[in-house]
Amino acid sequence: MFIVNYIKEVFGAIKSLLIGMRRTGYYFTHHKEIITEQYPDNRNTLVMADRFKGEVVLTHDEQNEHACTGCTACELACPNATIKIVTKFDITPEGKKKKAIDKFVYHLELCTMCNLCIVACPTDAIKMAQTFEHSVYDRNELIKILNKPDSKIRAGIE
Amino acid sequence: MFRETEILKTGSQILPIKQNLEGAGDFVINVGPQHPATHGVLHLVITLNGETIKKVEPHLGYIHRSIEKMCERLNFRQFIYVTSRMDYLSAHINNHACAMCVEKGMQLEVPDRAQVIRVIMDELTRIASHELWWGAMAMDIGAFTPFFHAFREREKINEIMEETCGARLTMNYYVPGGLMADLHPNFQKKVKEFITLFKLKIDEYDELVTGNIIFINRMKGVGILSKEDAVSYGCSGPAARGSSVSNDIRKLYPYAVYDKVQFDEILETGCDSLARYMVRIREMKQSIHIIEQLIDNIPEGEFQAKTKAVLKLPKGEFYSRVETARGELGVYIVSEGATTPYRIKFRSPGFSNLSALDKMARGSKLGDLVAMMGTLDLVIPDIDR
């Protein structure tokens, strides 16, 4: 009986190896599926998911106007002190003082893309962009001022 | 202990090895902190007698980021994202535990839609985590191809996550009271595609690795952890279920909608590495089963409960626990009524599971250590936090 069991065991072992080899052989001969993204080569055709969190941007329209009121809700929501908003006071035509943003400073090097600032924004002024190639030679280049020069707050947003 | 330095001190005169000296004849080697088989910066100091392991001492602290202390500075909305960095392979499940603890404290009612989506996301994460483990486990043992097979399917889950949550690994999708955003319109279609694909592929996993005689011989009878030891070391998750300890939090203390879905708690009686391996393979099939039940029945409605802008927990202590891919994760919050937690403590599964490694490894050969460590599914940032 011992010898029968031994032979059974040996053949069972060989069979198990052959089953695995058959699967490997199948993929060796059926290599139609290409899963790997050929990244630097497919740069022009690469489509990122529309919710992909790449970096925070302040959206501007054609008139170079944005919707940021300088309420600092995003600054308070950020866990890493990524956002710093510097405000100034504009004089409206009626002669009143109005708070507006001077600089929207965004530290990309500290950002973890947690999306909390976007959720906190009451006027949907900021959003996540789908860019992801953030490598630079100097870390100071990662400190960005998001509002474009001479941009204004869109009329009607309080 | 007899060390090389002592030989050097004595100059040219080489002392005979004193047999009666404690630790004489032992050989101490370091595995890690930079070793591919430890999957991170785990440092094991191993005392050997010949090739037999006498003692395994894990040295921790290489990736300690003091997450618990960090959380005390952050408010109840912010601290959740940090926990994705603990057990990064089950980031969603970690976030679920934290969000649940805050909801428990505030007595928030989470909408049904959010609960169901959370469970689907958790189970997808569990599959992704087990798949990575499966590939890495086979690679530790010496098979290289399974790694690519595992990552091929894991990529599909990552794509689903990227589409809905906006990130592939550290998603931060759960907020106290529900979810950060609603599902992507393609979500259901993509998950269904994944289920049909995965059901075909999981049989390939069995063909490639599970039935393989070399693999079975490496795993069977290796790293014996008896039921009593598994309980006394506080093991949880698949590591304990391989020793037939019933400890699935999803079954014992159901949260979200786990009490409304049908699934089995996987128990194996082998107590060895192969048993722990089989638990995870069978658990993946159960996860698919859970997703199948829920994916067509996502209720309509709100995905987030209405909350105030600033969350405040009442004074008191709150605890919640979930079943991550590695075991039980507990979140304990002490609140003084402020916007930030007074003290926060995470009971991570990896730490307790690692403590059982010494017990498992004693008396076995050094080559088997990798097979034991692999089945514990250690994620070092989870152990160190």
Q: What is the pLDDT of residues B151-168, one digit of tens each?
A: 888 888 888 888 888 888
Coil, strand or helix at B17: coil
Give me the mean pLDDT over the B14-20 stretch: 53
Q: For residues B22 and A157, what is the distance between their CA atoms, to the nearest angstrom?
A: 79
User: Which residues 296-325 of B have a C-beta within 8 angstroms of A?
Assistant: 309
Q: Touching check for A142 and chain B: CB below 8 Å?
A: no
pLDDT of residue A62: 84
Is the Cβ–Cβ distance between A69 and A152 less than 8 Å? no
Q: Touching check for A112 and chain B: CB below 8 Å?
A: yes
pLDDT tens sequence across A56-95: 888 888 888 888 888 888 888 888 888 888 888 877 777 7
pLDDT tens sequence across B192-231: 889 998 888 888 888 888 888 888 888 888 888 888 888 9
Q: Which of B125, B87, B141, B89 is nearest to B273 (CA)?
A: B141
The domain locations on chain A are 1-33, 55-153
User: Which among B78, B209, B211 has CB closest to A79?
Assistant: B78
Q: Touching check for A100 and chain B: CB below 8 Å?
A: no
Give me the mean pLDDT over the B42-51 stretch: 85
Coil, strand or helix at A129: strand
Give the chain B residue whose CA is nearest to the CA of A73.
B309
Q: Which of A120, A35, A45 is nearest to A75 (CA)?
A: A120
The DSSP output letter for B28 is E
pLDDT of residue B5: 47
Beta bridge partners of B48: B27, B53
pLDDT of residue A137: 92
Angle at B295 between CA B292 and CA B297, to 5 degrees: 115
SS (H, E, C) B330-361: EEEEEECCCCCCCEEEEECHHHHHHHCHHHHH
Q: Is the pLDDT of residue B380 over 50?
A: yes
Question: Where is average pLDDT lowest: A98-102, A103-107, B149-153, B233-237?
Answer: A98-102
Pick the CATH number of A55-153 from 3.40.50.300, 1.20.1640.10, 3.30.70.3270, 3.40.50.2300: 3.30.70.3270
User: Encoding tokens for residue B160?
Assistant: 């689903």
User: Encoding tokens for residue B7?
Assistant: 């030989």
Tokens 């005169």, residue located: B13
The domain locations on chain B are 4-59, 67-384
Q: For residues B315 and A22, what is the distance between their CA atoms, to the nearest angstrom?
A: 63
pLDDT tens sequence across B312-348: 888 889 999 898 888 889 999 998 888 888 989 998 8
What residues contact residue A66 under an 8 Å CB cut-off, 6+ apart? A58, A59, A60, A125, A147, A148, A151, A152, A153, A154
Q: Touching check for A34 and chain B: CB below 8 Å?
A: no
Q: Is the pLDDT of residue B31 over 80?
A: yes
* pTM summary value: 0.86
**Which residues in chain B have Cβ-Cβ distances shorter than 8 Å to A16?**
211-213, 216
Is the Cβ–Cβ distance between B161 and B181 less than 8 Å? no
Question: Where is average pLDDT lowest: B6-15, B47-56, B301-310, B361-370?
Answer: B6-15
pLDDT of residue B7: 47
Q: Which fold has domain B67-384?
A: Cytochrome-c3 Hydrogenase; chain B (1.10.645)
Q: For residues A114 and B174, what is the distance between their CA atoms, to the nearest angstrom?
A: 11
Task: Give φ, ψ of B346 to 5 degrees.
Answer: -110, 130
Q: Is the pLDDT of residue B149 over 70?
A: yes
DSSP string, B145-163: HHHHHHHHHHHHHHHHHHH
pLDDT band at B1 (very low <50, low <70, confident <90, very high): very low
Q: Is the pLDDT of residue B6 over 70?
A: no
- Is A115 close to B209, i.e. CB distance below 8 A? no
Task: Give φ, ψ of A135 to 5 degrees.
Answer: -70, 130
Distance from CA of B34 to the nearest CA of A (A): 26
Q: Is the pLDDT of residue B102 over 80?
A: yes
User: Which among B74, B159, B166 has CB closest to A115?
Assistant: B166
